[in-house]
């Protein structure tokens, strides 16, 4: 039986590696601040001020009511994925064990980052805005992105398009 690569461990037992290089939280602070600023500008310019007031109220409700928790912490040697609602357990994966990763954009719900650590083992990371996740993985394991690997294979393939395709005579 193959050894598990994505190690499920207790948060208290994580190695003390200092401060994480990247820490990703679930609450979108930058979007909330932008909505509040746009709402203030709309009210100050008296340009559709009612929409500005509604925008500020909605942004403040999101700021107040949306739960915030740490989704992922990246260290130089490994990353840790925390699950919502579980205060004791997390998943720890070393960067050198990542075989490939792919970003899947959600149509109706959350975006998902799928990390393959072995043939049968995957780590799924759900997020509302996965821009920071993709930047983090591009920083630590850029050569393991599935789309880049496919593009590199296609560039090196011996297949050539027939002459008659794409040319009008």
- Total domains in the chain come to 2
Same domain, 57 and 78: no
Q: What are the φ and ψ backbone dihedral angles of 102, each rounded to 5 degrees? A: -145, 145
Provide the pLDDT confidence category of residue 55 given band limits of 50, 70 and 90.
very high
pTM: 0.70
> What length does the chain have?
169
- The answer on 125 and 113 residing in a single domain is yes
Query: Model confidence at 1, in pLDDT bands (50, 70, 90)?
Result: very low
**Both 116 and 78 in a single domain?**
yes
Query: What gap in Å lies between CA 51 and CA 43, rounded to an integer?
Result: 8
**pLDDT of 37 strictly over 90:** yes
Do 33 and 108 sit in the same domain of this protein? no
Confidence of residue 154 (pLDDT cuts 50, 70, 90): low
Q: What is the mean pLDDT of residues 32-41?
A: 94
pLDDT score for 34: 94
Residue 148: domain span: 7-26+68-155
Indicate whether 22 and 94 sit together in one domain. yes
> How far apart are the C-alpha atoms of 111 and 43, rounded to whole Å?
33
Question: Is residue 92 a contact partner of residue 80, using CB atoms and an 8 Å limit?
Answer: yes
Q: Is residue 162 part of a domain?
A: no
pLDDT above 80 (res 6): no
Q: Contacts by 100-109 with C-beta closer than 8 Å and gap 24+?
A: 100/144, 100/145, 100/146, 100/149, 101/137, 101/141, 101/144, 101/145, 101/146, 102/145, 102/146, 102/147, 103/130, 103/133, 103/134
Lowest mean pLDDT among 107-111, 121-125, 162-166: 162-166
Q: Does residue 48 sit in the same domain as residue 128?
A: no
Contact residues for 17 (Cβ-Cβ < 8 A; gap 6+) = 75, 76, 77, 78
Residue 88 and residue 122 in one domain: yes
Q: Is the model's pLDDT at 155 over the cut of 80?
A: no
Q: How far apart are CA 126 and CA 146, in angstroms?
A: 18
Average confidence (pLDDT) over 53-79 = 90
Report if residue 39 sits inside a domain: yes
Same domain, 19 and 38: no
Among candidate residues 45, 65, 85, the one where a domain is terminated: 65
Residues 77 and 121 in one domain: yes
Q: What is the pLDDT of residue 41?
A: 93
């Amino acid at each position: 039986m193959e050894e598990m690569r994505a190690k499920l461990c207790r948060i208290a037992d994580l190695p003390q590696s200092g401060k994480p290089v990247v820490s990703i939280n679930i609450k979108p602070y930058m979007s909330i601040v932008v909505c509040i600023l746009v709402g203030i500008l709309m009210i100050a310019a008296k340009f559709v001020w009612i929409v500005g007031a509604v925008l500020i109220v909605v942004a403040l409700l999101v700021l107040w009511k949306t739960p915030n928790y740490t989704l992922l912490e990246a260290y130089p040697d490994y990353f840790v994925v925390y699950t919502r609602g579980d205060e004791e357990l997390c998943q720890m994966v070393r960067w050198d064990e990542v075989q490939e990763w792919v970003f899947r954009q959600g149509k109706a719900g959350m975006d998902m980052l799928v990390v393959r650590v072995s043939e049968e083992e995957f780590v799924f990371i759900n997020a509302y805005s996965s821009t920071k996740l993709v930047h983090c993985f591009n920083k630590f394991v850029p050569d393991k992105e599935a789309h880049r690997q496919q593009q590199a294979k296609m560039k090196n393939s011996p297949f050539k398009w027939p002459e008659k395709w794409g040319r009008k005579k």
